[in-house]
Structure 1
């Protein structure tokens, strides 16, 4: 299932270094517990693995030594707590990717929606809540920026009260999300500056920003203070992050660690291996610098 469809249906109801042969190798063994280095806090986006029942997936995360999962809502949190898995990026509000904070006609509904979910996130002991700019639909970037400022300012006081960080995701508008507005780092950074709150950050998706602008490590070094969360994915194709694609994930992870970042890095690649959990184990091994 593509992420666009998964987000829409979910909101409506409320992934050491490898040997050089990883391109063709497709492991099929079930995961066994192994020791992670602790420099990267690993998470995984459930939508990439949703053919696996959630409870089984949480057990797999325990076996892998992973402590968090991305993109879950209130209806799933009790099960996460049963397996001591943290919700590292929450959802449960908004109208999906295409309709977002850049459209003032949606502000009343968005504000009401986020005001009801923010306390739930905080009370559950979680921090991060995703949001989206929405598509341009003919709107210029400056107007959309100001509209986002106007709308988001209405929910930030409650987010600050509950210790919740609203995170707008940077997505590519070239391949996956045509016309999406928050598609360049500098646009998002300017939004952070104008909002002026530590409770608003950017979800820096490495796959998406490689497509739009590249220069990943330099942007992490220059703008990391505005990034509250990271997603991975192999480019091109958004599949495994091994040597079948162009991004050097060990170097990227080292750059993230060097910034002092203590949040989560979530694997958001779509597995092609028959054994999806083996693909996830490979991904976190690559990122565990």
Structure 2
């Protein structure tokens, strides 16, 4: 038997944000017919597989689909067949990057990265997918201008191929204060300037709401002012990177309304680490909180 998540502590929060929807146990989501909340359809919901490692990818596909999730992030070619079997999109492909710390910000990695992305971009397109993640890597003493020039130099070698195949290369914004010390692309201003220098619709930013709340805040204004450069969004509660509940500080309904108001049609993928026993109920709650 699955244990219910802490329904007492969260009851008032659910009533305010979710209209009193009951989703305390996984049994609430055994079939679509029993699912107690009809999604509005304004947000394309995804989920990051690494946050739900208690489930096989097959199980995650099955359970996520019941909740209304359309895509799973950070899956490479070896497992795309599992997503296709269940009609789930590979909403943010990976497999071309070296690591979070070794990226386009350092010229010494360019040869390997260019090779990797040159091989991966056609595979992404052939599979019918669109988004492919990349990273700046760490700063290692670089100033912003040096980092920008280095990133531009490397990315310019692969952007024409991405344009040819209709693939969008997306650099993730990560915080350097808590989780990824010394990461280069740790502010939206850095990423936006890189987008402007590259000048291609096939290079955008993965705007991670959790990470940017830590490093710069002012989330809604950033989204309103720079949405044309944001091609994908990630969620998580701050502090803690856990559920989107009343223990964290980001008011996700307002952030999601700002995203919808920009006309965004891509994915908002949930990248929080559930701390409650019923992890699928936690995921369903996150979807409901963000479904505006």
- Indicate whether the TM-score tops 0.5: yes
SS in 2 for 1:251: helix
SS in 2 for 1:76: helix
Unaligned runs of at least 5 residues, structure 2: 1-12
Quote the offset at 1:26 in angstroms: 9.0
Does the CA contact (< 8 Å) of 2:210 and 2:234 recur in 1? yes
SS in 2 for 1:203: strand
CA 1:95–1:21: 2 relative to 1, 3 Å: same
Partner of 1:141: 144
| Aligned counterparts of 1:112 and 1:202: Cα–Cα separation in 2 | 21
**2:30 is aligned with 1:41:** no
TM-score using structure 2 length: 0.90
**2:191 is aligned with 1:179:** no
| Aligned counterparts of 2:90 and 2:26: Cα–Cα separation in 1 | 27
Does the CA contact (< 8 Å) of 1:40 and 1:257 recur in 2? yes
Unaligned runs of at least 5 residues, structure 1: 1-16
Structure showing greater radius of gyration is 2
Does the CA contact (< 8 Å) of 2:235 and 2:272 recur in 1? yes
Partner of 2:6: none
Partner of 2:227: 224
**2:22 is aligned with 1:29:** no
Q: 5 Å matches for 1:247-262?
A: 247-262=250-265
Higher relative contact order (CA 8 A, sep 6+): 1
**2:57 is aligned with 1:54:** yes
Q: 5 Å matches for 1:1-289?
A: 18-19=14-15, 27-30=24-27, 31=29, 32-33=31-32, 34=35, 35-289=38-292
Structure 1's consecutive aligned runs of 4 or more residues displaced over 3 angstroms after TM superposition are none
Quote the offset at 1:27 in angstroms: 2.9
TM-score using structure 1 length: 0.91
SS in 2 for 1:18: helix
Q: Deviations over 1:172-192 (max 9, x none)?
A: 000000000000010000000
